[in-house]
Amino acid sequence: VGLILLNPGSHYFFVIFAKLSWLVKFFITVRTQRLVESSEEIDHIENGWWNANSEVIEKIWAHSYALQWCIRYPYLKKAKSFLQTSEQEKKLIWEVGCGTGWVCRMIADKNFHIIGTDFSKAQIEKAIELAAHFGKEDYCSYRISDASTLVEGHDGVFIHALLHHLTEMELDGFFSVMEEQKQGTRVFLYEPVFVNSNSKKSAAAFLWKKMIKLYVKIVSASIRISGSKNEPLIRESQALFEAADKNGWFLSPKEVPFYEHELESRLNQYFTTRKRYFVNSSDFTIAQMMVLYNMDRPGFLFRKLVFPVATWLDTVFFKLNFRSVSKGEYFFCCYELIRK
Ligand SMILES: C[S@@+](CC[C@H](N)C(=O)[O-])C[C@H]1O[C@@H](n2cnc3c(N)ncnc32)[C@H](O)[C@@H]1O
């Protein structure tokens, strides 16, 4: 009996293995609190994780160039006009934690130059290569540098999903760099935040949430029918999530989305918040599904109907403050900040 059960070729082996891995999951808690401080070892693991996995992450997080235009460009355009104030004005923007540079590369032009920094060598090399590939090398330059190292001579700061990768002490270091920014400096920030359920639960909120879920379900089913599974990508991304579960990480070794009050109490010390709005919820889920089903070039129907409807459903959800029904979920929040 023992041999049958423990023989990796037997059906029972997989049943038992599946049950055990569920049990392991049950006992291991995924990181939900920020690390207070890092160590050389943890930094090494985080940096190595990015160097090794940036290609898979690029696909499931940054999606394709065509999908970026559907779900990213609308808020990036707003970020650009916040940082530039007028199109004729020449600006040099410091993009901190730029990864492979895809975010600001979309909006870089002759009057909107980018100096991107990241501590991952592999990603900075890729960013330089991609800037040339997209003909943006005159507007985008990159260098390897830690988030707490000041880049001088810029006119504004752009941060896209970096800060939640830092420990408490690294955040202290980062914000002391922000403290050195001159009064009036503009900073655009995009970070995942666990929402506070700061509104009353209502039937309307509940129904709206149900409608969004149903919409995403229907769109996902149609993607599954019309697309073809990208098996290698699905396997690679599953492996990342399984490794995170096994190690008790959120996804990358150090990351944890912010809690609203945690981020905002830090921001309020140095900045006046000019605007704050949520983006990329249902549209992000749909775009990710499209990448996993080899549909990374959305057709007319997706561009003109499916994505705009998803965005509209989410916009209403956040405008009416229906977040009470999303306890424990995180959403991507944009902040337009001005140094006090
Ligand atoms: C979620 S990715 C965001 C990359 C890019 N901004 C984007 O939105 O795709 C986080 C990035 O932060 C970088 N990073 C993490 N810790 C860092 C640190 N201490 N200093 C500089 N970069 C760091 C990682 O290498 C990675 O490229």
Each residue of 271-282: pLDDT tens digit?
A: 999 999 999 999
pLDDT given for residue 197 in this prediction:
61
Q: In ligand 1, which atom is closest to the CA atom of 58?
A: 9
Cβ-Cβ contacts under 8 Å for 151 (sequence gap 6 or more): 94, 96, 115, 117, 145
Residue 8, pLDDT > 50, answer: no
* For residues 294-313, average pLDDT: 95
Q: Which residues pair with 96 in a beta bridge?
A: 117, 159
Reported in sequence order, the residue ranges of the chain that DSSP labels E, i.e. its strands, are 91-96, 112-118, 140-144, 156-160, 186-194, 258-259, 271-279, 330-339
Q: State in Å: Cα 214 to ligand 1 middle.
A: 33
Residue 62, pLDDT > 80, answer: yes
Residue 202, pLDDT > 50, answer: yes
Q: State in Å: Cα 98 to ligand 1 middle.
A: 6
- Strands 91-96 and 156-160: what pairing? parallel
Q: In ligand 1, which atom is closest to the CA atom of 98?
A: 6
pLDDT tens by residue, 311-339: 999 999 988 888 778 877 889 999 999 99
* For residues 284-298, average pLDDT: 95
More confident residue, 33 or 242: 242
Q: State in Å: Cα 150 to ligand 1 middle.
A: 15
Indicate whether residue 50 lines ligand 1 (CB < 6 A). Answer: yes
More confident residue, 281 or 4: 281
pLDDT given for residue 198 in this prediction:
63
Residue 105, pLDDT > 90, answer: yes
Q: Which residues pair with 271 in a beta bridge?
A: 339
* Whether pTM exceeds 0.85: yes
Nearest CA to 334 out of 287, 272, 275 is that of 275
* For residues 75-94, average pLDDT: 92
pLDDT given for residue 81 in this prediction:
95
pLDDT given for residue 284 in this prediction:
95
pLDDT given for residue 199 in this prediction:
63
- Strands 271-279 and 140-144: what pairing? unpaired
Indicate whether residue 158 lines ligand 1 (CB < 6 A). Answer: no
Average pLDDT, the chain: 89
Q: What is the DSSP letter of 152?
A: -
Q: In ligand 1, which atom is closest to the CA atom of 50?
A: 25
